[in-house]
């Protein structure tokens, strides 16, 4: 290793001068009083509480509605950097949709020997019910949140493809709204690409995916598990801003072969259902019989082409962590191009050589459960105690195929406001991607998650992470 | 609109109205206790009756005292109709129907809840009681203000208003039900000092003392009170006023949806009975019976509205 700093600092170039995207912000910041900014930060928190931008913590008391901490310093990306990123994201999302179509039809990629069959056939996220079914417009992942991490000037990696029901977009929007209210002067000086039309774009994109033969303006509804779900705020926010109905399973019923919602005037058919309920709970007749969150028979309506489900059932196979390691092959197989955005190197512990390497280097690696999410059930080697390492070692040996391992990434840092002024903290980025037959639409920016604890590399909100407004500058 | 949303709106405003009415009852009870004009503990027992909390209170406390009655009515978790529980229920319904509310209405409701939680985090000291009650009522007034100032006059608004007036009609009738005996003896035109305090207190419980004086001067009589709280269409908490409002809001729904339901016939019949009634006739046939019939009619109407507009399953 050279003696270059270990982590890429997005704010400051070596020597300390701000990098170009931050020049305007830093000029403004230098004229500001830290105490005033900290008061503003407290205002922001009150604003979030009053607006009810909270999330429920699983297992916590019902009264425990928490705020995701918000940091008032924006994360800034140049227009040029963003343009490059969007090309990579678009390529990847196209490949994911082509992959899903293939996996549920001829499975050419398996026949070609590029992906082992067992990874598909024995995968819990693979839904046999989807075989041979073509969703309206052949779109599987209507909404994707691609998690990116940055490690250098031109180094971005895809950490995860959230192809099921990515959340967090409401925070992207409310963070911007908050910044506009608190620092209007910044936005008149610095030209930031807008994100506020996301709900309109979402509605448009979903409408373009309506079943063939849907007359006039499609009826769109957002399906939520209910007010106790941790992301309920987001569900109601999106329904509200996209002009969609917010429904629960108990509002829905299959009537005359259509999915319909119970209104004050009787049952009204729905054309597009943006569901924020997992596959397994979607239809008690076809999946988990004990589910009360879904609608009996909805999958039969889907099969007969009577409704669009966004995202399609069975998309989880594409963001499975075991499949993830094959993404470079997947991109190449379907687009004929090299992947523009690299994967994080990944060891599949199901392979004996990889397992040996992982066990030998456990204290250097991050180990994740293949089906896990949200930062639960993972091991961050460098931060783990001897005891934790030993316990994880045993788990790995018992069920190697259940794990993948990755190097501990040197996540870039972005400044946050602390009592002493600006201080670097590690971040990732989740841009939001909309897919319809009319094209792929990526909102400039996304959700920046930040590990607020000094030195921490875990950005999940369930593990003490916060969020920031993300600016993409106009070129 | 979803049936569930209509139900959520109606209940959101029922709960808000109930919390407001309970604060008024507490305020009137507190006042009568201070004036020591009658046995204060009996007074608190009748306040508990009027808010339908007597039985639940009895399970929690062997006797009725001001301290335990006020705490029970305001914030005791064992009381599902406490002011705090009602505001929380209103706010939960607001979350459920968030997409039907303007940002202002939602934020006012959320703030009302945050403020009530803060004010009622601990038992309220006697000296703080008037201020706390006023602060809570002000919060719910802000919600109503936001509703009037920012919401479309469509079905959403109508369900919210129907909820408000169903609850208010029920509450006023309950107060009359608990106090009817005070109005009965002799129907004399001039009461004893004790009667006067009791009569005043009834008016206070519905926040109507001043309006009564504007209309009737200083002289408070049982017939005057009954006329005012049952039949006077100008008094915003009278049975006639509330029923007329429900009928009007249901009429707007009929027009908007182009559909008439059994509930429309019920509300029109009830309104007809009230318009045809006179205080003299009500007293002759029995005030108590009249109130009981009214309460049951309102409950029946609420159930019919639930069915007519498919609130549940």
Q: To the nearest whole percent, how much of chain B has pLDDT over 90?
A: 79
Q: State the complex-level ipTM.
A: 0.85
CATH code, domain carrying A397: 3.30.1490.270
Domain check: are A301 and A448 in the same one?
yes
Question: Does residue B18 carry a pLDDT above 50?
Answer: yes
End-of-domain residue from the set A389, A407, A425: A407
Phi and psi at residue B291, to the nearest 5°: -65, -45
Residue ranges of chain A whose pLDDT lies below 70: 1-5, 55-64, 372-376
pLDDT computed for residue B190 by the predictor = 57
The verdict on a CB contact (< 8 Å) between A265 and B259 is yes
For residue B191, pLDDT beyond 70: no
Chain A environment of B77 (Cβ under 8 Å): none
Among A407, A424, A443, residue at a domain's last position: A407
Pairing verdict, β A447-451 and A421-430: antiparallel
Instruction: Examine the fold and report which residue of A383, A407, A431 is the final residue of a domain before the chain moves on.
Output: A407
Residue written as tokens 């009027």?
B50
Contact A314, A125 (CB under 8 A): yes
- Residues of chain A contacting B1 with CB distance shorter than 8 Å: 263-264
Asked if A263 and B98 come within 8 Å (Cβ–Cβ), the reply is no
Q: Is the dihedral of CA A342, A348, A351, A352 positive or negative?
A: positive
* CB–CB contact B107 A227 (8 Å): no
Nearest partner of A309 among A371, A252, A372, judged by Cα: A252
Residue A320 domain-assigned (yes or no):
yes
Q: Is residue A7 part of a domain?
A: no
Residue A8 lies in a domain: no
What is the SS3 assignment for B73?
helix
Residue B186 confidence class, pLDDT cut points 50, 70, 90: low
Whole-angstrom distance, CA of residue B69 vs CA of residue B63: 9
- Is residue B15 within 8 Å of residue B109, measured between CB atoms? no
* pLDDT on residue B117: 95
Q: What is the pLDDT of residues B20-58, one digit of tens each?
A: 999 999 998 898 888 766 677 888 998 999 898 999 999
pLDDT at A374: 57
Q: Are B45 and B64 in contact (CB under 8 A)?
A: yes
Whether residues A231 and A379 share a domain: the answer is: no
Query: Does residue A134 share a domain with residue A25?
Result: yes
Statement to judge: residues A99 and A124 lie in one domain: yes
pTM score:
0.90
- Helices first, then strands: H and E counts in chain A: 15, 22
Identify whether residues A413 and A397 lie together within a single domain: no
CB burial of B256-275 (b: ≥16 within 10 Å; e: otherwise) equals ebeeebebbebbeebbeebe
| Strand-pair category, A220-223 with A272-275 | parallel
Which among A315, A319, A371, A367 has a CA at the least distance from the CA of A346? Answer: A367
Q: For residue range B259-282, list pLDDT tens digits in order.
A: 999 999 999 999 999 999 999 999
Q: Are A82 and A321 in contact (CB under 8 A)?
A: no
**Residues A221-271: tens digit of each pLDDT:** 999 999 888 889 999 999 999 999 999 999 999 999 999 999 999 999 999
- Domain with A296, as residue range(s), is 20-342+409-472
Residue A9 domain flag: no
B6/A227 touch (CB, cutoff 8 Å), yes or no: no
Interchain contact B111–A (C-beta under 8 A) = yes
Domain count for chain A, please give it.
2
A253 and A377, same structural domain?
no
For residues A226 and B98, the answer to whether their CB atoms sit within 8 Å is: no
Contact: A251, B3; criterion CB under 8 Å: yes
pLDDT of residue A2: 40
Task: Choose the mutation target among A47, A264, A296 for the interface with B, i.e. most B CBs under 10 Å.
Answer: A264
CA distance A393 to B143: 57
Structure confidence at residue A321 (pLDDT): 82
Q: Is the pLDDT of residue B180 over 90?
A: no
pLDDT of the residue at A121: 87
- A192: nearest Cα among A94, A300, A76: A76
Contact A210, A218 (CB under 8 A): yes
Count of CA atoms in the C-beta half-sphere (13 A) of A44: 27
Q: Which residues of B, range 124-183, sit inside 8 Å of A by Cβ?
A: 155
CA distance B240 to B229: 8
CA distance A370 to A401: 8
How far is it, in rounded angstroms, from Cα B227 to Cα A58? 54
CA angle A399, A401, A404 (to 5 degrees): 110
Residue A15 lies in a domain: no
Give, rounded to a whole angstrom, the gap between the first and last alpha carbons of chain B: 15
Same domain? For A165 and A270 the reply is yes
Instruction: Report if residue A2 sits inside a domain.
Output: no
Q: Give B95's contacts in chain A (Cβ within 8 Å).
A: 52, 227, 232, 236
- State the sign of the Cα–Cα–Cα–Cα dihedral A29, A33, A39, A43: negative
Taking the C-alpha atoms of residue A209 and residue A213, their distance in angstroms, rounded to an integer, is 11
- If asked whether residues A442 and A424 sit together in one domain, one would say yes
Note whether A351 and A423 are same-domain residues: no
Q: In A, which residues are within 8 Å of B304 by CB distance? A: none
Contact flag A264-B310 (C-beta cutoff 8 Å) = yes
Which positions in chain B touch A251 (Cβ < 8 Å)? 2-4
* pLDDT at site B148: 97
Q: Mapping DSSP to helix (H, G, I), strand (E, B) and coil, where does residue A337 land? A: coil
Q: Find, in chain A, the residue whose alpha carbon is nearest to that of B101.
A: A240
User: What pLDDT is recorded for position A62?
Assistant: 47
Does residue B192 carry a pLDDT above 80?
no
**Residues from chain A contacting residue B2 (CB–CB below 8 Å):** 245, 247, 251, 261-264
A136/A177 same-domain check: yes
Q: Are residues A212 and A356 in the same domain?
A: no
**At A470, which helix (H) or strand (E)?**
strand A465-472
Structural domain includes residue A212:
yes
A311 and A278 inside one domain: yes
Q: How far apart are CA A345 and CA A325, in angstroms?
A: 8
């Amino acid at each position: 290793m050279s003696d270059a700093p270990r982590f890429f600092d997005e704010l400051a170039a070596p020597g300390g001068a701000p990098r170009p995207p931050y020049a305007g912000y830093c000029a403004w910041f230098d004229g500001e009083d830290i105490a005033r900014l900290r008061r503003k930060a407290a205002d922001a928190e009150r604003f979030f509480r009053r607006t009810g931008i909270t999330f429920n913590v699983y297992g916590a008391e019902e009264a425990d509605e928490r705020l995701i901490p918000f940091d008032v310093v924006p994360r800034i990306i140049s227009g040029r950097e963003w343009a490059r990123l969007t090309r990579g994201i678009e390529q990847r999302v196209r490949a994911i949709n082509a992959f899903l179509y293939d996996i549920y039809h001829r499975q050419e990629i398996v026949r070609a020997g590029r992906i082992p069959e067992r990874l598909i056939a024995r995968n819990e996220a693979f839904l046999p019910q989807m075989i041979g079914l073509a969703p309206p417009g052949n779109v599987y992942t209507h909404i994707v949140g691609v998690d990116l991490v940055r490690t250098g000037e031109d180094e971005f990696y895809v950490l995860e493809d959230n192809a099921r029901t990515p959340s967090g977009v409401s925070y992207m929007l409310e963070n911007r709204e908050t910044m506009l209210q608190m620092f209007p002067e910044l936005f008149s000086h610095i030209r930031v690409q807008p994100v506020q039309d996301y709900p309109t774009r979402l509605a448009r994109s979903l409408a373009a995916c309506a079943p063939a033969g849907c007359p006039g303006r499609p009826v769109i509804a957002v399906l939520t598990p209910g007010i106790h779900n941790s992301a309920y705020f987001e569900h109601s926010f999106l329904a509200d801003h996209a002009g969609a109905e917010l429904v629960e399973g108990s509002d829905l019923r299959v009537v005359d072969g259509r999915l319909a919602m119970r209104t004050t005037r009787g049952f009204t058919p729905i054309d597009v259902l943006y569901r924020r309920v997992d596959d397994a709970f979607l239809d008690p007749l076809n999946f988990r019989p004990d589910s009360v969150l879904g609608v009996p028979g909805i999958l039969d309506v889907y099969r007969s082409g009577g409704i669009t489900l966004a995202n399609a059932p069975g998309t989880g196979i594409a963001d499975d962590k075991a499949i993830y390691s094959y993404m470079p092959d997947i991109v190449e197989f379907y687009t004929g191009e090299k992947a523009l955005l690299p994967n994080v190197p990944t060891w599949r512990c199901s392979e004996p050589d990889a397992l040996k390497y992982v066990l030998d280097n456990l204290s250097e690696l991050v180990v994740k459960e293949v089906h896990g999410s949200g930062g639960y059930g993972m091991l961050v080697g460098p931060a783990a105690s001897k005891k934790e390492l030993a316990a994880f070692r045993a788990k790995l040996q018992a069920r190697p195929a259940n794990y993948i391992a990755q190097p501990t990434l040197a996540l870039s840092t972005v400044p946050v406001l602390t009592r002493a002024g600006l201080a670097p903290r590690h971040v990732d980025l989740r841009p939001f991607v909309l897919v319809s037959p009319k094209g792929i639409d990526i909102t400039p920016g996304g959700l920046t998650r930040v590990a607020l604890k000094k030195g921490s590399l875990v950005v999940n909100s369930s593990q003490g992470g916060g969020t920031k407004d993300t600016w993409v500058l106009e070129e | 609109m979803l049936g569930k949303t209509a139900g959520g709106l109606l209940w959101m405003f029922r709960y808000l109205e109930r919390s407001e009415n309970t604060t008024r009852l507490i305020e009137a009870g507190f006042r009568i206790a201070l004036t020591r004009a009658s046995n204060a503990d009996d007074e608190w027992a009748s306040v508990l009756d009027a808010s339908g909390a007597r039985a639940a209170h009895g399970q929690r406390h062997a006797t009725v005292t001001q301290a335990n009655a006020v705490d029970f009515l305001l914030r005791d978790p064992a009381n599902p109709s406490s002011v705090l529980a009602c505001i929380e229920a209103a706010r939960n319904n607001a979350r459920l129907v968030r997409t039907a509310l303007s940002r202002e209405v939602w934020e006012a409701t959320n703030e009302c809840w945050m403020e009530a939680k803060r004010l009622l985090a601990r038992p309220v000291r006697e000296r703080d009681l008037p201020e706390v009650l006023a602060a809570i009522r002000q919060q719910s007034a802000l919600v109503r203000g936001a509703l009037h100032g920012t919401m479309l006059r469509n079905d959403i608004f109508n369900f919210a208003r129907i909820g408000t007036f169903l609850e208010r009609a029920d509450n006023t009738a309950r107060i009359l039900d608990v106090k009817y005996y005070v109005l009965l003896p002799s129907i004399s035109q001039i009461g004893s000092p004790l009667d006067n305090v009791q009569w005043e207190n009834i008016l206070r419980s519905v926040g109507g003392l001043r309006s009564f004086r504007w209309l009737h001067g200083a002289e408070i009589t049982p017939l005057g009170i009954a006329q005012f709280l049952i039949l006077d269409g100008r008094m915003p908490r009278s049975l006639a006023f509330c029923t007329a409002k429900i009928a009007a809001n249901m009429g707007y729904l009929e027009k908007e949806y182009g559909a008439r339901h059994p509930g429309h016939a019920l509300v029109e019949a009830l309104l007809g009975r009230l318009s045809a009634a006179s205080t003299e006739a009500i007293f002759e046939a029995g005030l108590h019976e009249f109130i009981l019939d009214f309460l049951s009619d309102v409950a029946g109407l609420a159930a019919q509205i639930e069915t007519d507009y498919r609130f549940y399953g």
